[in-house]
Structure 1
Amino acid sequence: MSGTWLPPEQYIATLPKATIYGCFFVTDQADRPIQLRAVRNPAVWQWPGGNLDDPGETPWGCAVRECMEETGLHIADVPRLPAVHFLPPLGDWTTHKVGFVFDGGRLDQDQIDRIVLDPDEHTEVAIRPLEDWRTRMSGFAFRRLAAVAEARRSGSVCYLEQPPTP
């Protein structure tokens, strides 16, 4: 910017746009990641979550709402954040995307048995040891999964950037 003052609505119009998502990283009691197969692209495995739908929604509120919609479960009451994820505009998606990955904890077998998928969103629930996911996901998606699992294990927070596609 040139340093010229603009009214807020004009200045905001000059800024990059972004969507925000909230999701939950969850495992079973043996720390095996639990993921959901996407309907729109069966090669994609996801955590329960999605985009903020309303200007008043927070990333935490979005993760809780989406998890309930996609699995029928309310899995966490306290926000614990092992990762933040930034994606540049990719393909037909013309805005940046910022994701908040919350720790949904370790689900017991009763919780896993109560998962009811939204058939418009996901076709399958899978629980696998971390290393088994490597061959089922893109390289970046697996690196994100592994980084979030390590952040949870170590009690740290990781920041992830998806590289732009050439």
Structure 2
Amino acid sequence: MSVEGPLYDRDPNAWYAHIAEGNARQARKRVCADVLIRDTAGRMLLVDPRYKPGWDLPGGMAEANEPPHMTARREVHEELGIDLELGRLLCVDWVAPHGPWDDLLAFVFDGGRLVADRVDRIRLQDEELAAFDFCDDELARDRLPPSMSRRVAAASSALSSGEVQYLHDGRTTR
């Protein structure tokens, strides 16, 4: 007996079951999305999370089925109390498994420059953050963990070059 046509044409329910089974078995990726926000002097906004060592960019972990740019916008609002229109994607960093964590895709978006009256409206919204500060490049390098420092440097470079950076653990790939 000959079977004609692909499975999705012959038996849409069987095709759906096949896709659902594959989806259930495929790896899931953790996703975080951060925002590079600067003041009018060009200093970058860093936050000091209480739940981990070192400073960080504003942002955080994506919720289930949440697009990265919406994650970044939601997290900035939840952390700092400001609603921010995001600019373009600056970099994507694949972070290798480490400690108890699986791998991660980290997105960094352009948050633009905040004028003084917008900076004055920033308010820490919950106990998750201890502080925020606008930092020049040198202070940011001192405060950020090495892989985050490399990611921020790549994101800053993307601001000037106009080219999205693809990284592995904060390092440019070729």
Which secondary structure state, in structure 2, belongs to the residue aligned with residue 22 of structure 1? strand
Measure the CA separation in 2 of the matches of 1:40 and 1:146. Answer: 24
Higher helix share: 2
Q: What pairs up with 1:38-117 in 2 under 5 angstroms? A: 38-41=49-52, 43-55=53-65, 57-76=66-85, 78-93=86-101, 95-117=102-124
**Can you give the 5+ residue segments of structure 1 that lack an aligned partner in the other structure?**
1-5
Distance verdict in 2 for CA 1:127–1:79, change over 3 Å: closer
What's the TM-score, normalizing by structure 1?
0.83
Q: Report how many residues are paired.
A: 155
Identical aligned residues as a percent: 32
Q: What pairs up with 1:111-130 in 2 under 5 angstroms? A: 111-130=118-137
1:30 lines up with 2:44 in the alignment: no
Deviation at 1:58, TM superposition (A): 1.2
Which secondary structure state, in structure 2, belongs to the residue aligned with residue 145 of structure 1? helix
Q: Answer 1 or 2: higher relative contact order, Cα 8 Å, separation at least 6.
A: 1
Q: Deviations over 1:132-166 (max 9, x none)?
A: 22222222221111111111122221112117xxx
What's the TM-score, normalizing by structure 2?
0.80
Which secondary structure state, in structure 1, belongs to the residue aligned with residue 70 of structure 2? helix
Root-mean-square deviation over aligned CA pairs:
2.0
Q: Deviations over 1:56-86 (max 9, x none)?
A: x21111111111111111121x541111121
Amino acid paired to 2:26: L
Measure the CA separation in 2 of the matches of 1:101 and 1:20. Answer: 11
Amino acid paired to 1:102: F
**Can you give the 5+ residue segments of structure 2 that lack an aligned partner in the other structure?**
1-16
* Kept after mapping to 2: 8 A contact 1:60/1:79: no
Aligned to 2:163: 156
Point out the structure with max Rg over C-alpha. Answer: 2
